[in-house]
Chains A and B, each alone.
Chain A
Amino acid sequence: MKTLAGRIAFNLFAWTVVLVTAFPLIWMILTSVKPQFELFRIPPTFWPEQITFEHYTRLIYETPFLKYMRNSLILGFTTTIVVVVVATLGAHSLVRFRYPGRERLAQMVLFTYLLPSVVLILPLYLMMVWLGIANTIFSLVIAYTTFALPYALWLLRSFMQGIPDDLEAAALVDGATRMEAFVDVILPQALPGIISTSLFTFILAWNEYLYALVLVNTDEARPLTTGVMSMLVSAFNIEWSLLMAASVMMSLPLIIIFAFLQKYLTRGFGAGGVKG
């Protein structure tokens, strides 16, 4: 009886948390399909009396939304690829090879992560101008890499420390080169770590606002975050209906990616390669 009551209480609590967290998302979706006249009705309606996709069509056909979407996708994927490739190889080196200053190097990398990112904006902006790549998606890739890489490196480093040395040694003895041993044996073992790191980096690049605002000010390179803001939010007016539709569409890629990758996130954990 006590356990049943406890279970009910626990479920009530859990559902309350879920509802509180999910309510803004639900409201966002509902608002995005309400016709304009229903948006500001008092008292507000929860379920739309009439469902319309006019905001979505307007967003797609009448605004540069798709261009921003393309920029964000390029930005997110490029940053993720650059960060994951460099961090995976770097973490492997920090874990497996012996060279002077190895620990110091790892600490210095972490130190750069401790700097508030605001501090780095101006130097980075000046650097981009000097390099002649200001106002491009590429400049944002570099900027995001500077703060995603240290964290990714540490995440993968601790992950790779859990992979037994013997696995790589066994592959080397079995005739693999260092690179083959890395690809055949280390990478599959590190896959859950690589996927978490990729997700972290992609979400960071997808949601970042401040750097995008400062470093880029043409529609050609603007990602969704700043693009949607500058397009729909002005000092005098906020286009709520379009903003909600844009928000729903911005959330979709992340939801899709999570749906596909979350099983990899848990798979592999706990399945140690070595008994003993």
Chain B
Amino acid sequence: MADVSFQKVRKAFGSAVAVKSLDLAIGSGEFVSLLGPSGCGKTTTLRMLAGLEFPTEGEIRIGDRVVNAVPPGQRDIAMVFQSYAPYPHMSVAENIAYPLKKRGVGRAERDAKVASVAATLQLGALLDRKPRQLSGGQQQRVALGRALVRDPKVFLLDEPLSNLDAKLRAHMRAELIELHRKLGKTFIYVTHDQLEAMTMSDRIAVMHEGDLQQFGAPMQVYEKPANLFVAGFIGSPAMNLLPGALESSGSGLAFVRQGLWLPVGAGGQAGQKVTLGVRPEDIALGSGPFVATVRIVEPTGHETIVMADIGGQSAIVRVQPDAAHVVGSEIPFAVRTSRLHAFDSVSGARLDLAFALPAS
């Protein structure tokens, strides 16, 4: 049973289309990330679900209720904003109590709930402070507290971690995962940070220019990106995308580009423009049928990133930190053929091709 669903939802601001035609069904209790670069429509999607924007076309449901015309306050949702948006003139306690006050909850019950939420979020000592006296991380807890106190059906989070420093971000990420596990509520999380999406979500919806590109579990999106955009967007460092073409070779086909020649077992047709996708960890430097030139070596400690030139295009390779590579040297390499990706260069769609290494 889907908890939240979008059916053919379109949103245009004048002539600018923010969301093209979105179909998305999110299950009850799921943690779903809307992931994409800025301007991809993810925040607009979230704001439509919150009731802060109205869809131009289509239907949005929460539970089995169509909420297109339901005001935000009656949708049984809570939202955490990127800016946290604590009410500056109210104390922490008043901030957290506000949603209850608007629902006519009595004072005694309000105080009890605020105290319990404050305890969960370790805000107990700060209840009398004003937001401007709090750090970014504390303000964010206040925003979370305001969401938690109402016990809503769906939590909406709009890039809640992006204003925190790296250390606090990692900490809050873990706390949010823990919170989701404890509450068992539906979380919809907007982010442009694929690491957040990968680590926290049950499923990721990758968006680009108002279109849903792929909707699947993090590892599925990583292992089987649906198209060139997803392939290039998910993964850090990014997947190497090497354009080439399929050509006839003996009885079968082969992927050919400068510096690479890979027999193709099944699928595709001769003459088709194909982009080969190779993740940085799927290139093995040291031995193999191909040759690359080392351009830049970046040791990060736990691994080393090598920028190498493959047939006139630079590619990123992830190697063990103890591997010594000399800048300017030519080294042989192989690719893990079972982990290669192929995309139609024109449409960008994923192709199911089976590659092999050339017989040496």
Contact = CB atoms under 8 A, between A and B. Distances in A.
A271 B85 contact: no
Contacts of B129: none
A271 B132 contact: yes
B163 A276 contact: yes
B81 interface: yes
Contacts of B47: 169
A175 B99 contact: yes
B83 A173 contact: no
Contacts of A175: 73-74, 99, 102-103, 150
B131 A174 contact: no
Nearest to B135: A275
Contact of A169 (B85, B89, B99): B85
Interface in A147-165: 164
Given A173-B79, A271-B132, A276-B82, A189 B88 contact: yes
Interface string B218-244: 000000000000000000000000000
Interface in A166-224: 166-167, 169-177, 180, 184-185, 188-189
Nearest to B77: A173
Contacts of B261: none
B218 to A, nearest CB: 28
Interface string B93-107: 000001100110000
Interface string B60-89: 000000000001111001110111111111
B84 A274 contact: yes
Contact of B79 (A170, A176, A275): A170
A174 B79 CA distance: 8
Contact of B102 (A164, A166, A176, A276): A176
Interface residues of A, number: 23
22 contacts: A169-B79, A169-B85, A170-B85, A170-B143, A170-B146, A173-B72, A173-B156, A174-B73, A175-B150, A176-B102, A180-B102, A184-B87, A184-B98, A271-B88, A271-B132, A272-B88, A273-B88, A273-B131, A274-B83, A274-B84, A274-B85, A275-B136
A97 B238 CA distance: 41
B139 interface: yes
Given A166-B83, A274-B83, A172 B89 contact: no
A48 B102 CA distance: 63
B186 to A, nearest CB: 15
A275 B136 CA distance: 7
Contacts of A176: 73, 102
B327 interface: no
Contacts of A169: 47, 50, 52, 72, 79, 81, 85
Given A166-B81, A169-B72, 6 more contacts: A169-B79, A173-B50, A173-B51, A175-B74, A188-B89, A272-B88
Interface of A: 164, 166-167, 169-177, 180, 184-185, 188-189, 271-276
B73 A164 contact: no
Secondary structure at chain B's binding surface: helix, strand, loop or mixed? mixed
B92 to A, nearest CB: 14
Contacts of A172: 51-52, 71-73
A273 B102 contact: no
A177 B98 contact: no
Contact of A185 (B74, B77, B87, B103): B87
B73 A173 contact: yes
Contacts of A189: 88-89
A185 B102 CA distance: 13
Nearest to A164: B83
Contacts of B87: 167, 170-171, 184-185, 188, 273
A174 B146 contact: yes
Contacts of B131: 273
A273 B85 contact: yes
Contacts of B83: 164, 166, 274-276
B255 to A, nearest CB: 47
B102 to A, nearest CB: 4
Nearest to A169: B52
A61 B269 CA distance: 108
Nearest to A176: B102
Contacts of A164: 83, 85
A171 B143 CA distance: 12
Contacts of B89: 188-189
Nearest to A191: B89
Contacts of A271: 88, 132
A173 B79 CA distance: 7
